[in-house]
Structure 1
Amino acid sequence: MDFAYDARTEELRAKLLAFMDEYVYPAEQVAHEQRARLASPWDTPQVVEDLKAEARRQGLWNLFLPDAEHGAGLTNLQYAPLAEITGRSPQLAPTATNCAAPDTGNMEVLAQFADEAQRKQWLEPLLAGEIRSAFAMTEPDVASSDATNITTHIERDGDEYVVTGRKWYISGAMNPDCGIFIVMGKTDPDGEDIRRQQSMVLVPRDTPGVTVNRAMQVFGYEDHYHGGHAEVTFDHARVPVTNLIGEEGGGFAIAQARLGPGRIHHCMRLIGMAERAIELMCRRAVSREAFGKALAQQGVVHNWIADARVTVEQLRLLVLKTAWLMDTVGNRGAHTEIQAIKIATPRAVVDIIDRAIQLHGAGGVSQDFPLAELYAGARTLMIADGPDEVHQRSLARREIKKYL
């Protein structure tokens, strides 16, 4: 593995770093101020639309999608340092570049598994940033860490599917621009193979029987920039059978294909979040005094900053190795590494952000700094896309199997 970034990556890094400095960081406070004046907190501030237009003008658009026909045609290894940069402003930069979850995963699903008509109707406007989307899998009444537990029914009735169930923490669903749900449910609940019971269907948001009940908070945050996380009811919602993605019984496999890239994208951005926390920690340390000397002269602060730097360098190498493996041997070949980064990265970044909060004192938990919101996002990723314990279980089994 070559540790140097190639010429295209370096070019895009330079453009993206300049875009962040010139447009994104100054827009953070502006976005908060504009949102306070909106008729609905779920509407998009004008500055976000301006950022999207500028990113698209500069060619910093759909960087995540390796399909050159639809996206930038970058490998995972090329995209990793770019996603890290956007992770420094996770509320604005991913959205500005059309690289925000859950749209990224949904676009990957549509690009890989949808038919031509489905791609025309839904993928193209998503790629253009004209609509947003949501992925509806998690349910409140079952342990959704085991996806075979889901109870939402997708029953065939003639030339239609009837969708019935309740989902929650459906990211993006509160956004008024959310036009489509990718819904995972059971088409064959009594099937012998528990991983062939599930299917995925496309359900337009305006379908009768679809109700977005409420926004779910995450540590008190509603995550407006990503369209929130909603509780959604599907009460005998009917869609044409042509809205099936792939084949009946293929939902579990599609979900696994979707979550692999999603997990590494989260970890890429998490490293950027950690870098932002280290920067803020250092700036605070050199600007504040306590007990007669600068915080930067306190031994414990030295330890926090040094440990954070070592941790980030370790994590970055593991993420880059995982990206390289996904490019060279595929997601299956990188299974162990994907699980390893999903376990290691959120935990470590939570600890780094926590130290940064501690160094900022009361300011660290306030709205005047991004640290509290960064903490909430990083801590949530110890649950999202599979909790740590599920990945530990699977990874340990794979290790033990070598010795049986």
Structure 2
Amino acid sequence: MKKLFTNLTFWVLTAIVSGASIGHFYPETGQQMRPLGTGFIDVVKVFINPIIFLTISLGISGMGDLKKVGKVGGKALLYFEVVTTFALIIGIAVAYLIRPGDGVVTAGMTEASAAGDVSKFAQEAEKGFSMWEFFKNNLTIQVLLFSILFGIFLSKFNGKQRILDVLNYLSKYVFKALHFVMMFAPIGAFGGMAFTIGKYGISTLLPLGKLMLTVYITMALFIFVVLYLILRYYKVSLLKYLNYIREELLIVLGTSSSEAGLPSLMEKLERMGCSKPTVGLVVPAGYSFNLDGTTIYLSMATIFLAQVYGVELTLTQMFTIIGILMVTSKGAAGVTGSGFVVLASTLTAIKVIPLEGLALLLGVDRFMSEARAITNFIGNGVATIWIANNEGDFDRAKMEYAFGHLAETEDVLVDNLGILEGGREERTGPPGGREERNRSA
């Protein structure tokens, strides 16, 4: 019983259920809980860019071959494009197979249209997609590029050791602070779920229930079929990996934001055997370019709206949709409502589906954002593991240690605040990991 009550997973799950109950039975009170969720996310966001900077700078500066940095980056971008394109095609195929939009217009247009005004998304869509605007407004990408350049500079700088000592010191205490903040994850999950249910209510799901069910089923198939096969190629268990990151998954579910678990995911991937440079390059880049869940949703939403309005898309129009989303979906990260802007841009480009149809989706978008965030989150972790294995930068001994000692690690992290006094190096892997084996060789 003591293990249960000192388990962070238990408290996050309890918070989600409690928040949903408050939001359902006391909707006004639930809406007032929003600052708990947004506040927690805002605090976690503070750690994202420092962790990206420290992880990449330290990782690249410690690499002997800088050509490998470019190789990993290029391979990551190729992986992202292939997998997200596959996700896009899956979304379209399932939408055509199940046809969630048939008969929806008479069942839910009036109620859903009251959910919000789509004019602001239409105005943004008229501007079109700009790669310059994407980079200018995406701080994560800016930090990623700066960190790569700084890491390369350090690797060539003769007096780098003093700088590395400072960065290692900062890294140690940044992660200690992050561990402390993550203990308040149940509060954030409670606030996020209470607000969602309190504001939108379960009743808003009914008119578009078929679409929601279709989206959730498609994303589940993508995770347990496509991502399963990707990991199986290198004999990594998807189920063990999901169990390993289950606390982060629940936090993402409760807060409806993949950002809430991003810093912790980077640390856990490194702890389970992925090299520091690979984690530092792939995870933040994937946050902007490897949005599997968002891609699935955007493709399905486009076909859904075509079915609602009885529009039969031609083959040319279908390829146009795929081409547009292959580019614009990469800009749907980090900014609230950006997914709707991308969708509005797509509808504007093909000019056969009324833009007003976006109003149908506004009422249920919050409930589908959990599925998008979780799928994006899992997909980025899988991408990192696959690329680390492909590059020979994956330590299977660390993975087995992390998976096998998960329960023990959780108990120490939650039950014993003394972990904040220990070094981060003590938790990154087993004795006899890659470094020790290399020395003995």
TM-score, structure 1 normalization: 0.28
The structure richer in strand per residue is: 1
TM-score, structure 2 normalization: 0.26
Select the structure with the greater relative contact order (CA < 8 A; seq sep ≥ 6). Answer: 2
